[in-house]
Structures are given as structure tokens and as C-alpha cells.
Copies of this chain bind each other. A is one copy, B any other.
Amino acid sequence: MTSGPTWTIAQIAEEFGVTHRTVRHYEDLGLISPERQGTRRIYHRRDRTRLGLILRGKRLGFPLEEIRTIVDLFDAPRGRRAQLEYVLGQIDERRADLEQRLRDAQDALRELDQFERRCRDDLEKLG
């Protein structure tokens, strides 16, 4: 059925720079649902995509529960009109959050640049 390359838990953990414990923790919270061959976990490309989304969400400071609602949104069935309208509403909320983060990062970078110039000025005055 779902073919293509696969990975073990150790491989994707290594590749994404996290521990296997972290990956399983995300599974406990329902953020990833890898295939099983017997008892072993088998990860496909879509699992890697989701893990990438999760870690980016974490870097942006979102809690895992909120991240789950977001990644679930992308995989939601969205067949009926009501479902689509709900999803579009959620998108707007998330965008507002993300735009705030974007402004925060831009503001912080501007202040950092400004501060660096002051420091370089001070340094120059010292000869």
C-alpha cells in the first residue's frame, strides 16, 4: 500500500536531532502515528513531514497540544462545507498567531542591529 523509503525510530531521531524518547512522546500525544511491523515502528515520508512541522512549531514556542490541532488540520477530511469553513476559521487564528511571532522576531532583530551599532561605535571610540 504506502510504499517508498522507510526509517526506524533511531534514524529519524538522529536525523532531526532529537532523542527516540522525544519521538515516542510525540506519538503518545497523538502527533505522529507510525506504521507498525509487528511491534516495531516504521516511519514514512509523511511522518517525517509531520515531525518537521512539529519541531518548527516548537521553535516558534507553540505547546505540543496546540501543534497537534494544527498538524491535524492539514490532514483533516474537509469534505463537507461546514468542515471547510471551520478549517478556514482555524487558519485565520493560526495566521494571527504566526504574524505576531513574525513581528516579534523582526522587532527583536531590529533592536539587535541597533544595539550592535552602538557597540561598534563604542569600540571605535576606544581606538
Which residues of A line the B interface, CB within 8 A? Answer: 56-62, 74, 78, 81, 84-85, 87-88, 91, 94-95, 98-102, 104-109, 112, 115-116, 119-120, 122-123, 126
Number of copies: 2
**B108 contacts A56, CB within 8 Å?**
yes
Report how far A57 CA is from B105 CA in the complex, Å.
9
> Smallest CB–CB gap between A94 and chain B, Å?
6
Beyond A60-B61, A81-B123, is A88–B102 a contact (Cβ under 8 Å)?
Answer: no
What residues on B are CB-neighbors of A85 within 8 Å? 123
> Smallest CB–CB gap between A54 and chain B, Å?
12
Beyond A99-B109, A105-B105, A108-B56, is A81–B126 a contact (Cβ under 8 Å)?
Answer: yes
What residues on B are CB-neighbors of A58 within 8 Å? 61
